[in-house]
Amino acid sequence: MKKIWLVVIGVVLLIGLVGLAGCVSEPTPSSGNINISSQQQGIWVTGEGKINVVPDVAILTLGIEAQDVNVAGAQTKASEAMDKVMQALEDQGIAEEDIQTVYFNISEVTKWDSFKEETEVTGYRVTNTVNVKVREIEKAGQVIDAVVTAGGDMTRINNITFTVDEPSPYYVQARDLAITYAKQKAEQLASGAGIELGKITYMTESSYTYGPMVRNYVMEDVSAAPAPAVTPPISAGQLEITATVTIVYDIAD
């Protein structure tokens, strides 16, 4: 008799487990209440403000590249040439704090020996590069001329970029424009949809600058870098400072 009851209880338990499994695999539909994050509700708008600015600072990336059969020789050549470049920068009125070393490297110079079928070290190359801030932007070409004359064939002018020394006020202007445009867009959307804007529930902002970059005064070959006959013309153009804001408005009841 006990065995029969045990079998019956086992069947009941099995049916119960199957019922639970059915409930888990097929959830019942919700009553209609949908849980949505607050950042997915309301009206999302994005506004962009742009300010065009004339640069007042030029950043020159320049330096010396020297080569010799040994490290000591290459280092001596590079040091002597760099001393002349630094003196030329000082003569052009560039302050010491406006010169920053950004790259220094000593590397092997190699060639392939086809007879031995192996790479042979033929010398060493020393590269010393600095960033130079030219605050009198109209003198950028004159500074390049002086550096190339001082450094001779070992001179390397990598690029020139332009910026403004104090960009914060321009970012404030661009941000104000972006907020104004975003508000106008939100009001237009709300009016068209027949709803009223509530309070702001979320806001984010990003700022960036677009500007000209000159890369056409690069010297690649150590033996092909004669001093320029005339001062290179440099045009700063304009910078575009942009701010973008995203604002989320609640919908008023």
| pLDDT tens sequence across 181-208 | 999 999 999 999 999 999 999 999 998 8
Query: Does 9 reside within a domain?
Result: no
* CATH of residue 69: 3.30.70.2970
Range from 20-24, 117-121, 211-215, 242-246 carrying the lowest mean pLDDT: 20-24
pLDDT at 47 over 90: yes
- Residue 24 belongs to a domain: no
Task: Write out pLDDT tens, residues 214-235.
Answer: 554 544 443 444 445 567 777 8
Instruction: Give the DSSP per-residue string, 19-81.
Output: HHHHHHHSPPPP-S-----GGGSSEEEEEEEEEEE---EEEEEEEEEEEESSHHHHHHHHHHH
b/e map 226-253, b = 16+ CB within 10 Å = eeeeeebebebeebbbbbbbebbbbeee
Whether residue 104 contacts residue 128, with contact meaning beta carbons closer than 8 Å, is answered with yes
Q: What stretches of the chain adopt beta strand conformation (E)?
A: 43-53, 57-68, 99-113, 118-134, 155-163, 197-210, 213-214, 239-251
Statement: residue 170 has pLDDT above 90: yes
Residue 85 has pLDDT above 50, yes or no: yes
pTM (predicted TM-score): 0.68
Say if residue 63 is in the same domain as residue 48.
Answer: no
Residues 133 and 176 in one domain: no
The percent of residues in the chain predicted with pLDDT above 70, rounded, is 76
Higher pLDDT, 165 or 222: 165
Which domain covers residue 86, as residue numbers? 55-164+213-234
CA distances from 224 to 139, 155, 220, 227, 250 (A): 25, 10, 8, 10, 66
**98 shares its domain with 62:** yes
Mean model confidence pLDDT for the chain: 81
Q: How many domains does the chain have?
A: 2
Q: Is residue 150 situated within a structural domain?
A: yes
